Amino acid sequence: MSLPHAILTALLERPSSGLELTRRFDRSIGYFWSATHQQIYRELGRLETEGYIRTLPAEQPARGQKKSYEVLPAGRAELARWTAAAQDPKPQRDVLLLRLRAAAVVGTAGLEADLRRHLELHQRQLAEYEEIQRRDFPPGKDTPEDRLRHLVLRAGIDLETFWTQWLSHALEEFGELPDLP
């Protein structure tokens, strides 16, 4: 049930149209909570029906004009309730780890190349996060809001650092393994 809360967060940061929201998801929120454009538009309708957001009045009536949304007090209260509620961490589910486990019984054909591909993908994501950090969080940018946003980015950096280190180690191990059946 986190997509509505991600949308409420984004709209509290800045009232937006559905299109603007999908772009913001593609550029920022989507790094840690992805959603398709259809999911976002569907959820905007639900949030409006539930009284959590409203369509901002158009500056001038025009057919096909994009609607912009803002959060209502009930939406802010729901987001505050959700933020304060305890939630257990989700169990880790990763197909690559399962494939490695399966390789122990069926062999490793093709897996080393995919590990290299994963390493490259994680290295690129890490570089992107580090660039965002350089650009958006220079020294001295330390309001409470900035510090919380930076914590989220640091989580991404730390996770990508973990994956690049782990994949490098896994590839070293692959180099020392005998051929499996």
pLDDT digits (tens, 9 = 90+) for 167-177: 999 999 988 88
The confidence score (pLDDT) of residue 1 equals 57
Please check whether residue 75 is in contact with residue 52, taking contact to mean a CB–CB distance below 8 angstroms: yes
In this predicted model, which residue has the larger pLDDT, 58 or 14?
14
> Confidence band (pLDDT; 50, 70, 90) for 118?
very high
pTM equals 0.81
The confidence score (pLDDT) of residue 181 equals 60
Neighbours of 175 (CB within 10 A): 8
Q: What is the CA radius of gyration of the chain?
A: 21
Vertex 121 angle, CA 120 and 127, to 5°: 90
